Structure 1
Amino acid sequence: MSTQHYDVIVVGGGILGMAHAWAAARRKLRVAVLERSHQAQGATIRNFGQVLVTGQAPGIMMELARQSRGLWLELAAQAGFHVRSNGSLVLARNHLELELLEDFAQGRAKDEGVACQMLSGKELAALFEGRLGHHHGALQGLDDLQIYSRDALPAITSSLQAMGVDVYTQAHVHYAQAGQVHSSVGDFTANSIFVCPGHDYSSLHRELLETVKPSVTRLQMLKVRAQDAGWALDRPLLTGLSCLHYGAFSDLPLAATLREQVQQRHGVLLEQGIHLLMSPTPQGDLIIGDSHDYGQQASPFNQEETDQYLLALAETVLGCPVQVLQRWQGVYGAKGPAPFSVLQADGSTLVTVMHTGLGMTTGLAIGERNIAARYD
C-alpha cells in the first residue's frame, strides 16, 4: 500500500470527528477521515439529536452550545439535512417543577442571557390542540435545535466528500501519532492528527486516556408511535425530571428539593438515572429515553423494567398510549474530570473525548476550536 500525505487526518467518523474534518475543510486543508465502520455506529446516531442550548451550565458548555447552534444551521444549509429550530419545551408535571423552571427563567436565564420564556398552563394548553394541557406550565427554550442524526450523518459525510475530504470506511487504525497513521486501509502521514474515538478507550492512546479515568454510560432508548392520529409533535419535549440532569438547573436550590421529592415518591427513577426526553423524527415517530447505567463497559442486557418506566412517563406526558417500534442502547462517555477532554498526545496529535452525552450540543464548536487553535 502506498503512503499518502494529508494536512489533517481525523480518526473517527462520529459527529466529533466530522466536526474537526469540516472545520479543516473550510480552511481549504487536505483532509482525510478514517472510520472503523461503514458509518459511525456510536453515540452520534443513537441519540435524540437535541442541541439543548437552554440546558447547559454557565461557562464553557454554554459557550460551546451557542457556538455549535450557529454551526449546525450553517452545516445543515450546506449538507441539506433538516433541522428543527423552533425550540424545546420543558414540561412541569407538578407545582415544584413549575417553581423550579420559573426560578431558572427569572434568575439564571436572565443573568446568562438564555433565550427562553415561561408558558402558563393555559398557554401550554393552546398548543397541540390541548394535548399537553394537563401540565402546570412549561419553559420554552427558544434557541434549542433538533437534528435527526440517522439522516444527518450520511448527509454530512456526502457534503464533506463534495468539499474534497477523503472518507475511508471500515478502516481500523492501530497507530496514530507523530505524524503517522497506520491502518487496515493503508499508511498515511499528516501534519496534524485528531483522534475522536468515541467511547473506545483502548485501541489508541490508551495510557493517555487512562489519565482522565474514562467510563461509559449505557442508556435504554426507544422509538415509539403515539396512538393518537392527531398527535404531531414538532419540537423536543423534556420534563422537570431533566432539571436534575442538566447543568443549567441541577445546582439550583429548588433542584435539591425536587430531588428529595422524587427520591421519596419514585426513588427508582433516580437509581436508574431516568429522565424523559422525547424527540420527533421526520416520519412523525418519537425517540424517547433515557436511563443511565454507569461503568467501565456497557452491559449488553437491557432491563425491561426500565423500558416500562420510560413508556409510562411518555404516555403520561402525551396523554395517550404509544406503540414501540424499536429499542436500542445508547453508549456515551461518562464521568470524566470535565464534560470533555482534549488531550495532547504529541506536538501534532490531539485526542478528544466526551464525558457526557452532549456531543451533538457542543461537538461542532469543539472541533472548530481545536482546528482554529492549530491553524488560525
Structure 2
Amino acid sequence: MTNPSYPSHPARTTHRTSERVVDTAVVGGGIVGLAHALAAARRGDRVVLFERDAYAVGASIRNFGMVWAIGQQRGAVYQRALRSREIWLELSAQTGMWAAPSGSLHLAHRPDELAVLEEFVATTPAARERGTTMLTAAEAVRRGPAVRAEGLLGAMWSPTEVNVDPRRAVPAVTAHLAEEYGVDARFGTTVRQIAAPRLATTDGAWRADRIVVCSGNDFATLYPEVFRESGLVRCKLQMLRTGVQPDGWQLGPMLCGGLTLLHYAAFEDCTARAALDARIRAELPFHREHGIHVLLSQTADGRLTIGDSHAYAATHDPFASEEIDRAILNSLGGFARIPEPRITERWTGYYPSLPDGRTELVTDPEPGVTVVNGLGGAGMTLSFGLAEEVLRR
C-alpha cells in the first residue's frame, strides 16, 4: 500500500501575532488524538492537531480494524464502545469510508469454550439486548464462510462489531476533520514543551485554552513523570496479513476462537473461564506464555488480517519470532479455513498498556492539560466514546 495522504491547512488564529491561538490543541495524530480533535471540533472549538511523523505509523494503523464492543468490560466501558461504534458509522456515512457492520462469531470447538460463551450470554443482558445470542454449529457455518465446521460445537454471534480498514480509516478521519471542521492537522510537527496554555513546537509557538496529550508510545517527550508514575508499559505484538482473497471472497463476520476468551475483560467474571484457562495452560503453554489469541478480520480490498501475540515490558527488542507466527497460524487453522492463506505481510506493533486492569489513563498534570493514554489494544474500539467523556469533564 502507498503511504496515505494527509491534508495540510493553514492555522486558524484569532489575531496576528507570532503566537497562534486556538481553543483546543491535540498532541498526537493516532486514533486517540483524532477522536479528541473530533469531539472538540463538534462542539465548535477551533482545533489544531500536532503529529510528529509525516503520517500516522503507530498502533492506529497496525491493528485489525476491529471495533470490538463485545470484548470490553461490562457496564460503562461496553457502553463507551457502543458509542464509539455509532460515531464510526456516522463518519462512514459522511465520508464514504469503508466500515462494515459485519458482527463477530466466537467459535467453540471444545466443551469448555462453549461453557464460557453460554455463561456469558446468560449473564450479560446488555449484550443480549443488542442481539448477542448463541448459535448452533450449523447456524454458525451458514453465517461465516470461513468457519471450520469439523468439531464445531456452537458459537456466539454478536452483531455490534464493525470492521474498518485502519490504513485507510485513519487518513480518512484526518481529512474529514480538516474539510468538515477546519481542524488544522500539522503532521511532521513535534511539540517540544508545554507550559499551559502555551505549546512550543517545531512549527512555532501556540496557545490553547485546552491541551490534550495523546502521545501513544512516546513516554519521554511530554510529562515523562506522569507515565513513570502511571505504571504504563509497552505491549509488543506480532501480526500477519494475506493477499487479496480470490473471486471477491468475503469473510463476513470477524472470527475468533477459544484463546480469545482468556484475553478480553468481558469474560473475566465467567466461572467457566477457570477450567478453560487450566486446559489451555496445560495444552498450549507457549500460547499463554506469549499472550497469543487469534482474531481474523478483513481489509477493504479483501486481505485478511491475522494475529496476535502480546508481550509486556518497558522496552522490547526489535525482532519478530517465526515460532510465534507459526503458533498464531496453527491456532487459526483450528477454527477457520480461508481460500488463499499465503502471507504477504508481517509486522510488529506496539501500544501502551495499563497492567492493572484499568482501561485508560486520563489525568491532568497541570491546569488546562489532560493526558489521555493507555487504551491498550482497544483504541479503535473506545477512543471516540472516551473523547466525548473527557471533554465533558
**Are the counterparts in 1 of residues 240 and 306 from structure 2 also a CA contact under 8 Å?**
yes
**TM-score, normalization by structure 1:** 0.94
Per-residue CA distance 1:260-308 (angstroms, 9 max, x = gap): 0011111111011000011111121110000011100232111110001
- Percent of aligned pairs with the same amino acid: 35
**TM-score, normalization by structure 2:** 0.90
The answer as to 2:70 corresponding to 1:51 is no
Aligned-pair RMSD on alpha carbons?
1.9
The answer as to 2:379 corresponding to 1:359 is yes
Q: How many residue pairs get matched? A: 373
Partner of residue 304 from structure 1, selected from 322, 325, 328: 322
User: Deviation at 1:253?
Assistant: 1.2
- What does residue 152 of structure 1 align with? 169
User: Deviation at 1:128?
Assistant: 4.6
Partner of residue 149 from structure 2, selected from 133, 140, 144: 133
The answer as to 2:350 corresponding to 1:331 is yes
Task: Say which is worse superposed, 351-360 or 121-130, in terms of deviation.
Answer: 121-130
Counterpart-to-counterpart distance in 2, 1:227 and 1:264: 35
1:188-207 residue pairs with structure 2 within 5 A? 188-207=206-225
Letter in 1 for 2:326: Q
Distance 1:111 1:223, change over 3 A: closer
* Gaps in structure 1 of 5+ consecutive residues: none
Partner of residue 268 from structure 1, selected from 267, 273, 286: 286
User: Deviation at 1:356?
Assistant: 1.8
Partner of residue 361 from structure 2, selected from 341, 353, 370: 341
User: Deviation at 1:200?
Assistant: 1.1
**Are the counterparts in 2 of residues 220 and 290 from structure 1 also a CA contact under 8 Å?**
yes
**Are the counterparts in 1 of residues 135 and 154 from structure 2 also a CA contact under 8 Å?**
yes
* Gaps in structure 2 of 5+ consecutive residues: 1-16
Counterpart-to-counterpart distance in 2, 1:131 and 1:365: 32
Partner of residue 69 from structure 1, selected from 85, 89, 97: 85
Letter in 2 for 1:322: P
- What does residue 277 of structure 1 align with? 295
1:282-301 residue pairs with structure 2 within 5 A? 282-301=300-319
Per-residue CA distance 1:93-126 (angstroms, 9 max, x = gap): 2122112111111222468745301110111222
User: Deviation at 1:352?
Assistant: 0.5
Task: Say which is worse superposed, 80-89 or 123-132, in terms of deviation.
Answer: 123-132
The answer as to 2:139 corresponding to 1:123 is yes
Letter in 1 for 2:380: M
Partner of residue 178 from structure 1, selected from 192, 196, 201: 196
User: Deviation at 1:229?
Assistant: 6.0
SS in 1 for 2:72: coil
Counterpart-to-counterpart distance in 2, 1:348 and 1:39: 27
Distance 1:231 1:261, change over 3 A: farther
SS in 2 for 1:9: strand
Task: Say which is worse superposed, 268-277 or 119-128, in terms of deviation.
Answer: 119-128
User: Deviation at 1:70?
Assistant: 1.2
The answer as to 2:30 corresponding to 1:14 is yes
User: Deviation at 1:227?
Assistant: 7.5
Counterpart-to-counterpart distance in 2, 1:366 and 1:34: 20
